[in-house]
Amino acid sequence: MLNKTLLQMAFAGLTTFAAVSIAHAAEQLKMEVYNPGEKSIFPVSSEIISGKTEVALIDAQFQRNDAEALVKKIKQSGKKLTTIYISQADPDFYFGLDVITKAFPQAKVIATPQTIEEIKATKEGKMAYWGPILKENAPTQVIVPQELQGKSFTVDGQEISVEGLDGPSPEKTFVWIPSLKAVVGGVAVSGNIHLWVADTQTPESRQNWLTTLEKIKALKPVTVVPGHYLDNAPQTLESVTFTQNYLTTLNAEIPKSKDSAELITAMKKHYPDLKDESSLELSAKVLKNEMKWPQ
pLDDT per residue over 199-241, tens digit each?
A: 999 999 999 999 999 999 999 999 999 999 998 899 999 999 9
Structural contact between residues 237 and 217, judged by C-beta atoms closer than 8 angstroms: yes
For residue 293, name the pLDDT band (cuts at 50, 70, 90).
confident
Q: Residue 63 carries which DSSP code?
A: S
176 shares a domain with 269: no
pLDDT for the residue numbered 17:
43
79 shares a domain with 134: yes
149 shares a domain with 70: yes
Its pTM stands at: 0.88
CATH number of the domain encompassing residue 75: 3.60.15.10
pLDDT at residue 158 greater than cutoff 70: yes
pLDDT for the residue numbered 197:
96
What are 121-154's pLDDT values in tens digits?
999 999 999 999 999 999 999 999 999 999 999 9
239 shares a domain with 171: no
248 shares a domain with 204: yes
265 shares a domain with 149: no
pLDDT for the residue numbered 8:
52
pLDDT for the residue numbered 226:
98
Structural contact between residues 112 and 87, judged by C-beta atoms closer than 8 angstroms: no
Mean pLDDT (whole number) for 189-199: 96
216 shares a domain with 167: no
Q: Is residue 282 part of a domain?
A: yes
Q: Which domain holds residue 247?
A: 191-222+235-295
271 shares a domain with 162: no
Please provide the average confidence, as pLDDT, over all residues in the chain. Answer: 91
pLDDT for the residue numbered 231:
85
With pLDDT > 70 as the criterion, what percentage of the chain qualifies? 91
| Domains of the chain: total | 2
118 shares a domain with 174: yes
